[in-house]
Amino acid sequence: MDFANLGSQLNAGAILPETTVILTLLVVLVGDLILGRASAKWTPYVAIAGLLVAVGLLCLQWDQPNPISFLGSFNADNLSIVFRGIVALSAAVTVLMSVRYVDQAGSAIGEYMSILLAATVGGMFLSGAQELVMIFVSLETLSIASYLMTGYMKRDPRSNEAALKYLLIGASSSAIFLYGLSLLYGLSGGQTYLGTIATAIGSGSENALALAIALVFVIAGISFKIAAVPFHQWTPDVYEGSPTPVVAFLSVGSKAAGFALAIRLLTQAFPMLIEEWHLISRHWLSSV
């Protein structure tokens, strides 16, 4: 086995910022398990430090010559660096906002930080993912963590209601989005990488209707994530019932990851329908 060639294809250094956040998550989680409530004095600052280190590593990756990693599943180009940095910075600001808020609510800060860091990892991977399975896994990592953070104030009925609505509507939108991805997978003959899907589908008119249907389902799923009209009905109830720091993260970090997904997916998988999704993107910008 050619380990040198395999190492160059994996290019694991491209996900060094995400690895840093994962290690920070493990430190916070283990510290909370061992020390209990006493860890609340230092876990938020460890989380902030890990997120800032990840942002610094992202800056060092700017204009790197080989951004493709894991056999093409992840692209650490400048576009993804910008959005990954936004997600990480929004998480760091959320941690700062959460320290007193969670303490006054009487909830455990360690569990909260662990969920927030998990959502951050999902959003960062989603910003650079360009393979269908990785896209969906990253999206669900971000979504499930967001559901948990929304209902974290268990004693507040509004938080419980917001989490339930967010979960039900989010599960429906994930199913719609996954159906659109499955149509892409079928139309491309089993391709999962965005770079090869458009080439495999071709420009033939025999696939135009099915491709348009796939575009509709994919855009519906992304529109829910970025709260674009008319898929924004969940936003008022969820934002009203969620903890204030969680609203800050959902309105910045989650949307940034959603826009990164939209840009990469639409430009690489649907180039033959460029006029259609350009019209929709202008509608997004006017409504978000």
* Confidence band for 204, pLDDT divided at 50, 70 and 90: low
d(CA 99, CA 87): 19
Task: Please report, for residues 102, 230, 262, 271, the alpha-carbon distance to residue 265 in angstroms, rounded to integers and kept in the order given.
Answer: 37, 20, 5, 10
Going by pLDDT thresholds of 50, 70 and 90, the confidence category of residue 211 is confident
Q: In this structure, what are the phi and psi dihedrals at residue 37, rounded to the nearest 5 degrees?
A: -65, -25
Q: Which pLDDT value is given to residue 48?
A: 92
In tens, the pLDDT along 116-131 reads 999 999 999 999 998 8
Evaluate the omega torsion of the peptide bond into residue 245 and state whether it is cis, within 30 degrees of 0: no
Whether 231 contacts 223, CB under 8 Å: yes
Rounded mean pLDDT, 195-218: 77
- Give per-residue pLDDT as tens, 213-251: 888 888 888 888 888 777 777 888 888 888 888 888 988
Measure the CA angle with vertex 16, ends 264 and 12; round to 5°: 80
Phi, psi of 75 (to 5 degrees): -120, 110
**Distance from C-alpha of 104 to C-alpha of 147, rounded to nearest angstrom:** 21
Cβ–Cβ under 8 Å, residues 122 and 142: yes
**Rounded distance, CA 106 to CA 257, Å?**
31
Q: What band does 16 get if pLDDT is binned at 50, 70 and 90?
A: very high
Query: In 3-state terms, what secondary structure has residue 8?
Result: helix
Let me know: does 177 contact 218? Beta carbons within 8 Å: yes
Is the pLDDT confidence value at 46 over 80? yes
Tokens 């209601």 locate to 161
Q: How far apart are CA 153 and CA 9, in angstroms?
A: 44
Q: What share of the chain has pLDDT > 70, as a percent?
A: 89
pLDDT over 70 at 22, yes or no: yes
Mean pLDDT, rounded, of the chain? 84
pLDDT digits (tens, 9 = 90+) for 58-85: 999 888 888 888 888 898 888 999 999 9
Question: Which token pair is 177?
Answer: 């989005």
Answer yes or no: is pLDDT of 285 > 60: no
Domain count within the chain? 1
Residues 190-215: b if buried by 16+ CB within 10 A, e if exposed: ebbbbebbbeebeeeeebeeebeebb
Closest to 43 measured CA to CA, from 106, 119, 98 = 98
Instruction: Look at residue 5 in the predicted model and tell me its pLDDT.
Output: 58
Q: Find the domain containing 205 and state its range.
A: 3-287
Q: What is the largest CA-CA distance in the chain?
A: 64
> What per-residue confidence (pLDDT) applies to 116?
93
Query: If we measure between CA atoms, which residue out of 156, 143, 145, 165 comes closest to residue 101?
Result: 156
Whether 44 contacts 109, CB under 8 Å: yes
